[in-house]
Amino acid sequence: MSCTKLVHCLSNLMLPGLLAIIVAIGHSGCSSNNHSIPKPLRGVLLEQPVTVNHFQLTTQDGNEFTEENFHNQWTMMFFGYTHCPDICPTTLTELAALAKRLAQEGKPQIVFVSVDPQRDTPRHLKEYITYFDEDFLALTGKADRISGLTKQLKIKYSLEPAIDDNYVVNHSSAVLLIDPQGRYVANFKAPHYAETLQAQFDQVKRFINTPANT
């Protein structure tokens, strides 16, 4: 056999092995972020932060609220609607309890986003959100602007068929955490309890504020 043919044969034999090694290295690199996340925060902390792109909604007081309002403070955001019979009032009650547990300088901004703009006017939202905490913000806006925000945050919701102007809105029950750089960094899943939210919030802040993770 000539040298040229021998080299060709050896190359064909070695190629599958080399590909296997490359694939293994690639998988190892992709999963390294997950392994660097502390166990208590796996499934809570996102492997890669998601920068919140431009959006524009309106607060219960008629003020404009955009992605700029996330900067320089932590924000907890929850999506729901005022006619919600259970998960919304329960979650907002726990968020109000969380706010009372935290020192003033350590409180996150609490933002409730309505996914039912047809019924949740700013005036109605103000009456609703004030019941839980006067410092909470409630947002609404045109349906396409709301869906634009939910899509970039991967929040799902859907309206069931209306009966006599009454309808149910199915929606995500997660509380989202936005960091002071305006990045979506963590997702707190239901059921929500003030003490658990506080513990997870503190763990996320410690992890993100570690120099190696900034």
164-202: b or e for each residue (b if 16 or more CB lie within 10 Å)?
eeeebbebbbbbbbbbeebbbbbbbeeebebeebeebbe
Ordered structural domains, the chain, with CATH? 46-213 (3.40.30.10)
131 pLDDT higher than 80: yes
- The answer to whether 112 and 82 have CB atoms below 8 angstroms apart is no
Please identify which residue in the block is written with the tokens 């509380």.
175
Mean pLDDT computed over 110-138? 97
Which residues contact residue 162 at a Cβ distance below 8 angstroms, ignoring those fewer than 6 apart? none
Distance between CA atoms of 144 and 167, rounded to whole angstroms? 19
- Pair of tokens at residue 119: 């019924």
What are the residue ranges of helices labelled H in 133-178?
Answer: 143-152
Say if residues 149 and 113 touch (Cβ distance below 8 Å). Answer: yes
| Residue 26 pLDDT | 41
| pLDDT, tens digit (0-9, with 9 covering 90-100), for 1-40 | 544 444 444 345 444 444 343 334 343 333 335 558 888 8
pLDDT of residue 183: 98
| Buried-state track 133-154, b at ≥16 Cβ within 10 A, e below 16 | beebbbbbbeeebbebbbebbe
For 29-84, write each residue's pLDDT tens digit.
333 355 588 888 999 999 999 999 999 999 999 999 999 999 999 999 999 999 99
Considering the chain, what percentage of its residues have pLDDT values greater than 90? Answer: 72
Which residues touch 170 (CB under 8 Å, ≥6 apart)? 156, 157, 158, 159, 160
Query: pLDDT at position 133, please?
Result: 97
Enter the pTM of the model: 0.81
- What confidence score (pLDDT) does residue 15 get? 44
Q: Which of 6-15, 130-139, 186-195 has the lowest mean pLDDT?
A: 6-15
Q: Which two tokens stand for residue 146?
A: 């709301």
